[in-house]
Amino acid sequence: MAPEVWEGHYTAKADIFALGIIIWAMLERITFIDTETKKELLGSYVKQGTEIVPVGEALLENPKMELLIPVKKKSMNGRMKQLIKEMLAANPQDRPDAFELELRLVQIAFKDSSWET
């Protein structure tokens, strides 16, 4: 969940953040075991002390926190890593809008920055 949503402010940019979390978790297969249910959950979390906190909540508490997008699999190129980092920006204004996101995903998929939709 985007940092601003934790405070009750929902916009389309919150969906961009959520999609960034989903893409990152899917590409990297990030999981953790829920201590209460013992189920394996897919998501992106930050360790704060002894707690595991959703990325959005951690960014709400510390908007200047710099997310390092670890890459375990070689399939994620640098442009995708950068796009995910921008999608997960603490400030919604720093995230791409849906139109820019679509264009950049197409460019990454086709590896041709001059290709136009």
Please check whether residue 89 lies inside any domain of the structure.
Answer: yes
Residues forming beta bridges with residue 64, ordered by sequence position: none
Does the residue 117 lie in any domain? Answer: no
Q: Which residues is 46 bridged to in the sheet?
A: 53
12 lies in a domain? yes
Judge whether residue 2 has pLDDT over 60: yes
* 87 burial via Cβ count (<10 Å: 0-12, 13-18, 19+): buried
Give pLDDT, residue 28.
Answer: 75
Domain that holds residue 33: 3-110
Looking at this protein, which amino acid is placed at residue 94? D
Nearest C-alpha neighbor of 56 from the set 96, 20, 28: 20
- Give me 49's structure tokens: 């002390």
pLDDT of residue 37 exceeding 60: yes
Q: How confident is the model over 94-114, as pLDDT tens digits?
A: 999 999 999 999 998 887 545
CA distance 107 to 53: 32
Is residue 27 assigned to a domain?
A: yes
Catalogue the E-assigned strands of the chain: 31-33, 40-42, 45-48, 51-54
pLDDT above 90: residue 78: no
CATH of residue 79: 1.10.510.10
Q: Please answer whether residues 98 and 18 qualify as being in contact, where contact means their C-beta atoms are separated by less than 8 angstroms.
A: no
Of 23, 18, 24, the closest CA to residue 69 belongs to 24
Assign 33 a pLDDT band (cuts: 50, 70, 90). low
Nearest to 101 by CA among 6, 5, 9, 15: 15
**Residue 86 reports pLDDT greater than 90:** yes
pTM attached to this predicted model: 0.68
